[in-house]
Amino acid sequence: NADTAMYCAKNLGKNNVQFFQEEMRQGILRKITIEKSLRKALNTSGFELHYQPQISIDTGKVRAFEALLRWRDPELGNVSPLEFIPIAEDTGLIVPLGEWVLREACRQGVEWNGSGCEDLIISVNISTVQLKQANFVHMVKDILQETGFLPAHLELEITESLLINSFEQAVPMLKGLRDMGIKISMDDFGTGYSSLNYLRRLPLNTLKIDKSFIQDINVRGMGENIVSSIISLVHRLQIEVVAEGVETEAQLDYLVRCNCDNVQGYLLSRPGPAENVAGIIQKNYGDMFEMNLKNQQ
Ligand code: C2E
Ligand code: MG
Ligand code: MG
Ligand code: MG
């Protein structure tokens, strides 16, 4: 573990090359173990989706649920998607895993949209590796047909990393998805290779401001300016905004005041299992926003 490793490193003195080699070896071993266990989990339906709401500030109701992959391995315990998604991407396992996620999310979406709730969007994270598969659009079409989920209720969250080498290929593919009625959302906006030119040329419905900017609100003055500037710019492009990682009243207050459309974060609701969804659909979060509007008067 880290403590012993540090202890060893100190005692190695000039030989700390050995320490880094050992750390690298541990890292590689962990990756191999995770890869093996991921393969096993794929064959034994060892995954689960949790859902976190995006709340519309206008209506106080849920706009969408983002599907977030959860994995509890019998030996490794809970493994964070921040750790296993990159490994699934490196090994290509993200392709079958992502397909499972999409099918499961659509299946749930049909159920929830039928139960008194109309126009509930399900937002699914799509890896750049998946989007580079030649049959991606086909696969999405098949799953929509198979599950009977309406394309207008499906939103795909993509990240800027897709645009780095493949912008020219990505644009027509995303347009194809948009023409089917599917919504496209830019996730983690501001952390990658953001270019205003890309924003203009991409067929986006939604843009999610990365949580690192939201967390700067009321901490560093400039962070707030960036958030309000992104919101007004994006609105001029007719794109809807979601602020992610909203944790405090002060952040919410600021977002309400600069006309943000939707908020997502622990303050409103943590991601939770499918069983929690029905209760959240019933809820009205309007009071939280009105309180914030009153505060400014
Ligand atoms: P993301 O798509 O940006 O998802 C939002 C992450 O922020 C989630 O982490 C969520 O639990 C967390 N979060 C939500 N509200 C708050 C908050 O108020 N504060 C903070 N600090 N965090 C908050 P999670 O579930 O650990 O997922 C991490 C990342 O893993 C996701 O980031 C996404 O990039 C990836 N991921 C998760 N599920 C999938 C999936 O099915 N497919 C793919 N390709 N990637 C996935
Ligand atoms: Mg996301
Ligand atoms: Mg995000
Ligand atoms: Mg992310």
Whole-number Å distance, alpha carbon 81 to ligand 4 midpoint, is 10
Residue 260 three-state SS: coil
Instruction: Please tell me the predicted confidence (pLDDT) of residue 291.
Output: 65
Ligand 1, CB within 6 Å, residue ranges: 52, 68-69, 80-82, 85, 98, 101, 125-127, 157, 187-188, 211, 244-247, 265-266, 271
Dump the DSSP string for 43-66.
HTT-EEEEEEEEEETTTSSEEEEE
Out of 50, 103, 125, 270, give the residue to mutate to test ligand 1, the one with the largest number of ligand atoms within 8 Å of its CB. 125
Report how far Cα 230 is from the mean position of its chain's Cα atoms: 19
The rounded Å distance from CA 68 to ligand 1 centre is: 6
Question: 128, 120, 139: which is closest to 167 by C-alpha?
Answer: 128
CA distance 206 to 155: 9
pLDDT tens per residue across span 28-78 = 999 999 999 999 999 998 999 999 999 999 999 999 999 999 999 999 999
Digit-coded pLDDT (tens) for 209-220 = 999 999 999 886
Say which ligand is closest to the CA of 157: 2
Left (φ > 0), alpha (ψ -120 to 50) or beta: where does 116 sit?
Answer: left
What mean pLDDT value characterizes the chain? 91
Write the ipTM: 0.98
Q: Output the pLDDT for position 59.
A: 93
**151-166 as b/e, with b when 16 or more CB fall inside 10 Å?**
eebbbbbbbbebbeee
Q: What is the pLDDT of residue 247?
A: 97
Task: Say how far apart CA 216 and CA 3 lie, in whole Å.
Answer: 32
The model's pTM: 0.92
Rounded-to-integer distance, Cα 268 and Cα 253, Å:
13
Question: If we measure between CA atoms, which residue out of 123, 159, 130 comes closest to residue 51?
Answer: 123
Q: Can you list the residues of the chain whose pLDDT is less than 70?
A: 1-15, 116, 220-221, 291-297
